Chains A and B, each alone.
Chain A
Amino acid sequence: MTKHQCPECAYTYDASIGDEYEGYLPGTLFKDLPDDFFCPDCSVRFKIDFIEVDSI
């Protein structure tokens, strides 16, 4: 499972946890997030901008 981080505000999407508030179930891979996904915290960085930070 991978982690991807917003380069602006450090919001981190951890595929093993997902994002319950946003409606992404645990196990949802970052690549499977919608193409128009943008950072839920700052909204100024998009899917293409996120950086892979960790793998487990």
Chain B
Amino acid sequence: MHFIVLIAAAWWISINQLDWWGYLSLSIVAGNISGLGINTGHELGHKKGKFEKTLAKLVLAVPFYGHFTIDHNQGHHRDVATPIDGSSSRMGENFYAFVCREIPAAITRSFKTENIRLQRRKQDFLCFDNQIFQSYVISTILQGSIIVMFGLQIIPFLFIHNIFAWLQLSSANYIEHYGLLRQKDGLDHYERCKPHHSWNSNHVFSNLVLFHLQRHSDHHTHPTRRYQSLKSYDDLPSLPNGYLGCYLVAYIPWLWFYIMDKKLLKLSHINGDLSKVNLDPRKKMTLIKKYQEYN
């Protein structure tokens, strides 16, 4: 379906003389639909079966985000809610700064992870078994064919489409672990991911659109559990609204900080203790000064 939407939107642009705002609007709508495709790819990429993993590669190829499965499964899930995770937002980090950190970090971590696996198999990074390149090849064929079919005027459409699909994923990542931090155990390892290391939401619309993604604590505690079985719990960090509402708040940094910083510090396992919070190092002193009354 996501292939059809992308091709149909490109075709519509090519046969109509759209104003700049019509062109832009259609590009953003198509990008957001492909953003939902990344969410579908997320669910499929967690499955153990080869068929479902192949489907994940296909759907992630639409917005040119084929590195996602490897980065998410073997990077984000391993490092979630720690300062080393590019996909866990930090207290004091605004959405736009997060995007600039997260997107490059996801690409580099996935390449590094896949390279280590291929080295164990005594294969070059540039080989057909590279799971990331398999998806990138499909993306190149798809988006290259669209340029050949509909002309160079379609390139800005593809660019905007891809960016907005990626931003939808970044929006979800931004709100899912904001400021939450796993503690180090005696061996200098991080404690295992627990339910209070994710923000949750249980609104009907988000649940229907995003395959229960917002029952996020259960997803991180049991990553291979199918979305139909994910449970919602009452006593866990809870977002103030559904995902889509929270995205809108996240796009207005001062409003996000105003609502979420106090909510974060009030969590029972943090109780105002900033040493238990994943802080943006650039804002650390400012935040300590601002919230010292909580200590």
Q: Which residues of A contact B (CB under 8 A)?
A: 8-9, 21-24, 38, 40-46, 49
Closest A residue to B192 by beta carbon equals A44
Closest residue to B78 on the A side, CB-wise?
A43
Minimum CB–CB distance from B60 to chain A (whole Å) comes to 18
Bound-state CA distance A23–B224 (Å) is 22
> Which one, B48, B120, B220, contacts A23 given CB within 8 A?
B120
- Contact check: which of A8, A22, A46, A49 meets B222 at CB < 8 Å? A8
In whole angstroms, how far apart are the Cα atoms of A45 and B223 in the complex?
11
Cα distance A49–B78 when bound, in Å?
Answer: 14
Measured CB to CB, the nearest residue on chain B to A40 is B74
CB atoms of B117 and A41 under 8 A apart = no
Q: Hey, which bits of chain B sit against chain A, CB under 8 A? A: 48, 73-74, 77-78, 117-122, 189, 192-193, 220-224
B224 touches A9 (CB 8 A): yes
B121 touching A9 by the CB < 8 A rule?
no
Contact residues in A for B223 (Cβ distance below 8 Å): 8-9, 42-44
Task: Name the one of B118, B120, B193 contacting A44, with C-beta atoms under 8 angstroms.
Answer: B193
Is A23 touching B117 in the complex (CB atoms < 8 A)? yes
A16 to B117, CA, bound (A): 20
Residue of A nearest to B75 (CB): A43
Which one of B121, B189, B220, B224 lies within 8 Å of A41 (CB-CB)? Answer: B224
Whether B73 contacts A43 by the Cβ 8 Å rule is: yes
Q: How far is the CA of A31 from the CA of B161 in the complex (A)?
A: 47
Inter-chain CA distance A40–B223, complex, in Å, is 12
A50 to B193, CA, bound (A): 16
Cβ B120 vs Cβ A45 within 8 A: no
Q: Beyond A23-B121, A38-B78, A43-B73: 16 further Cβ-contacts under 8 Å?
A: A8-B222, A9-B222, A9-B224, A22-B117, A23-B118, A24-B120, A38-B74, A41-B48, A41-B224, A42-B223, A43-B77, A43-B223, A44-B78, A44-B192, A44-B221, A44-B223
Q: Is the CB of B74 within 8 A of A43?
A: yes
Q: How far is the CB of B114 from chain A (nearest CB, A)?
A: 11
Give the complex CA separation of A40 and B77 in angstroms: 11
User: Is B77 a contact partner of A42 (Cβ separation < 8 A)?
Assistant: yes
B77's partner among A21, A23, A24, A44 (CB-CB below 8 A) is: A44
Contact present for B48 and A45 (CB under 8 Å)? no
Chain A residue nearest in CB terms to B118: A23
- B78 partner residues in chain A, CB cutoff 8 A: 38, 43-44
Min Cβ gap A6→B in Å is: 10
Alpha-carbon separation in the docked complex, A44 to B117 (Å): 18
In the complex, how many angstroms separate the beta carbon of B174 from the nearest chain A beta carbon?
A: 21
Per the bound structure, the CA–CA distance linking A21 and B131 in Å amounts to 11
